[in-house]
Amino acid sequence: MRRVLIVHFSQTGQLDRLAQSVCGPLQQHGDTQLDYLQLQPVQPYPFPWPFLDFFRIFPETVLMRPQPLRPLAVDASTRYDLVILAYQVWFLSPSQPMTAFLASPEAAHLLKGTPVVTLIGCRNMWLMAQEKVKARLDQLGARLVDNIALTDACGTAASFLATPLWLFTGRQKPYSWVPRAGIDEAEIAAASRFGEAMAQRLTADDQPIEQPMLTGLGAVRIDEKLIASEKVGNRSFQLWSRLLAALGPQQSRRRAAGLVIYILFLLCLIVTVVPLSALVKKLLAPLTKARTEREKAYFAGPSGE
């Protein structure tokens, strides 16, 4: 009997549907047991988000200082043949509940020496979050064998408006003139192909999983235009997070005042620097083609595009 653990947290339900699609083929095999571990923060996060509350958690999320979880409903002594970590991306970082899980004593036991598949559902920028997850998995002695990343269908430019509106209104298409936020439902359904590949490998023999199972299935797509943006954004987020955290606790007035300044800075950045940097990168693309290809291959691993 093969045992698979799915660790997940979703505010909107979209990531849960994605995890169910991926795990559907696994559930159909009688010799595979699936255990679901839903992460539950001690103090639940609101959805839809009040505007300022969304940014109040920014410093702790980026600095990976999560708030505590409720006791995890899992036997940490159980040895799993595969663990699937389904997580959202918050501020170019793993969501606070997933960060909290990865810092827990249970994760230290469950993931040591265990093959791991990461499953990401997000707007479009997930590279830096995955780098942080990879670093933590290395610390825990886990083996990352595959990564799946599905992103919003409305495109990079439109998602700057569509995704925040979803977060703050709770509706994926609150107005007729706004593109629908989120991953395309057809793409979520098609994600079952990843589960089929995992099921074939798990039931082929009883040997440990050491190699990628999803090569050639389009588990990730790397947008080379976003690589540099993510790196620059992550450095900026790290700096601002330390400054804002130093101002005071999440609910303090000083933190709120600092956040207002930061939000104005961020809006100006999106309107001016982001399009300008995109133009510069396009002009320099012929000169940086070789480096870009190397970066794409690295970030696409271990599953590949």
The chain-wide mean pLDDT, for the chain, equals 93
Q: What pLDDT score does 241 carry?
A: 96
Count structural domains, the chain. 1
Residue 269 lies in a domain: no
* pTM reported for the whole predicted model: 0.94
Q: Count H helices and E strands in the chain, helices first.
A: 13, 7
Residue 97 lies in a domain: yes
Residue 238 lies in a domain: no
User: Given a cut of 70, is residue 47 above it in pLDDT?
Assistant: yes
User: Given a cut of 80, is residue 87 above it in pLDDT?
Assistant: yes
Q: Are strands 115-122 and 2-8 parallel, antiparallel or unpaired?
A: unpaired
Q: What is the mean pLDDT of residues 242-267?
A: 92
Residue 258 lies in a domain: no
Cα(43)–Cα(273) distance, integer angstroms: 36
Sign for the CA dihedral angle at 286, 231, 137, 32 comes to negative
Please give the structure tokens belonging to residue 115.
């093959």
Residue 66 lies in a domain: yes
Contacts 24+ apart (CB under 8 A), 288-291: none
Cα(88)–Cα(96) distance, integer angstroms: 9
> How would residue 273 be classed by pLDDT, with cut points 50, 70 and 90?
low
Residue 305 lies in a domain: no
Select the more confidently predicted residue: 269 or 188: 188
Highest mean pLDDT among 24-28, 51-55, 194-198, 261-265: 194-198
Q: What is the DSSP letter of 176?
A: T
What is the domain-level CATH number for residue 67?
3.40.50.360
User: Given a cut of 70, is residue 274 above it in pLDDT?
Assistant: no
Contacts of 180 (CB under 8 A, 6+ apart): 153, 154, 162, 172, 173
Residue 58 lies in a domain: yes
Domain span at 116: 2-224
User: Given a cut of 80, is residue 179 above it in pLDDT?
Assistant: yes
In the sheet that holds 2-8, the strands lie side by side as 32-38, 2-8, 82-87, 115-122, 143-151
Q: What pLDDT score does 257 carry?
A: 94
> For residue range 119-171, what is the model confidence (pLDDT) as tens digits?
999 998 999 999 999 999 999 999 999 999 999 998 877 888 899 999 999 99
Per-residue buried b or exposed e for 245-284, using 16+ beta carbons within 10 Å of the residue's own CB:
beeeebeeeebbebbeebeeebeeeeeeebeeebeebeee
Cα(153)–Cα(194) distance, integer angstroms: 19
User: Given a cut of 90, is residue 252 above it in pLDDT?
Assistant: yes
What residues does 148 pair with on adjacent strands? 119
> How would residue 29 be classed by pLDDT, with cut points 50, 70 and 90?
confident
Q: What is the mean pLDDT of residues 168-191?
A: 94
